[in-house]
Amino acid sequence: MKQIGLIGGMSWESTKEYYRILNQLAAKELGGLHSAECIIASVDFGPIAEWMHRDEWEPIRKELISKARSLERAGAELVLIATNTMHLLADDVAAGISVPLLHIADAAGEACVNKGLKRVALMGTKFTMEMGFYTEKLKNTYGLKVVIPENEDRKKIDGIIFNELCAGIFTESSREYLIRTAGRLIEQGAEGVILGCTELPLMVKASDLPVPVLDTMELHAEKAFYTALND
């Protein structure tokens, strides 16, 4: 099995879930006491979040490339950015290393195609929902029609992610709000809901909605595991 490198810490709440999923898959597929061969390079999310909200992406780009290169030097044979939003810089990170970078939107798009979905809702940080790098990939590569929440809902979801979920705060009121927002997108014709933030699956579950729920964290980790195993 190839060694998987994770750029984590954005936030650590979801990074630990990646580690759990990878190791559960190793136990399932390999049996016994097997676990996943992986390396984690974790960032300090505090300054990164501040740069994001000041629209200062260059220091983040440098930090992610540095972490990716450190993973490659440590023996990683494929790399994941364990967050959706930072895939805004995925092409730059991929260009800075010589091992594959597995894009989280590819994991989401492939799952949508496999389920026969044509029109999907995307929920995540305001950057993921608004900046185009994610929706355009889903549209251009996978032929998906992507709908996003209204402006006020986008602001509210972004606040829940940064002010609550990334800090390990989980409230029933926020959970209900996220489910209601997803419900409105389903009423607009969404055939599935992409949880395009790795913190959202910590709150919203497949059983909460009447359409398929795409957990990008789980899909990304699964894609990495089976790529590492089968290659």
For residues 212 and 205, give the distance between their C-alpha atoms in angstroms, rounded to a whole number: 10
First to last CA, the chain: 8
| Domain ranges for the chain | 4-103+219-230, 105-215
CATH class of 105-215: alpha beta
Residue 46: pLDDT band (50, 70, 90) is very high
Identical fold at 4-103+219-230 and 105-215? yes
- Establish whether 38 is a catalytic residue: no
Q: How many CB atoms lie within 10 A of CB 29?
A: 13
For residues 79 and 77, give the distance between their C-alpha atoms in angstroms, rounded to a whole number: 7
pLDDT above 70 as % of the chain: 100
Model pLDDT, residue 179: 98
Segment 170-206, tens digit of pLDDT: 999 999 999 999 999 999 999 999 999 999 999 999 9
- Rounded mean pLDDT, 19-45: 96
- Establish whether 83 is a catalytic residue: yes
For residues 77 and 96, give the distance between their C-alpha atoms in angstroms, rounded to a whole number: 14
Which of these is catalytic: 15, 83, 85, 181? 83
Residue 231: pLDDT band (50, 70, 90) is confident
Model pLDDT, residue 182: 98
Name the residue type at position 158: D
Decide if 168 contacts 202 (C-beta within 8 A).
Answer: no
State which fold the 4-103+219-230 domain adopts: Rossmann fold (3.40.50)
For residues 105 and 154, give the distance between their C-alpha atoms in angstroms, rounded to a whole number: 19
Segment 2-27, tens digit of pLDDT: 999 999 999 999 999 999 999 999 99
Query: Long-range pairs for 94-101 at CB < 8 Å and ≥24 separation?
Result: 96/65, 96/68, 96/69, 97/65, 97/68, 97/69, 97/71, 97/72, 98/72, 99/5, 99/72, 100/227, 101/68
Segment 59-80, tens digit of pLDDT: 999 999 999 999 999 999 999 9
Segment 105-134, tens digit of pLDDT: 999 999 999 999 999 999 999 999 999 999
Residue 39's DSSP bridge partners are: 5
Considering the chain, what is the average pLDDT of its residues?
Answer: 97
Q: Is 77 helix (H, G, I), strand (E, B) or coil?
A: coil
Q: What is the DSSP letter of 104?
A: H
Which of these is catalytic: 38, 112, 166, 197? 197
For residue 83, give both structure tokens: 């967050």
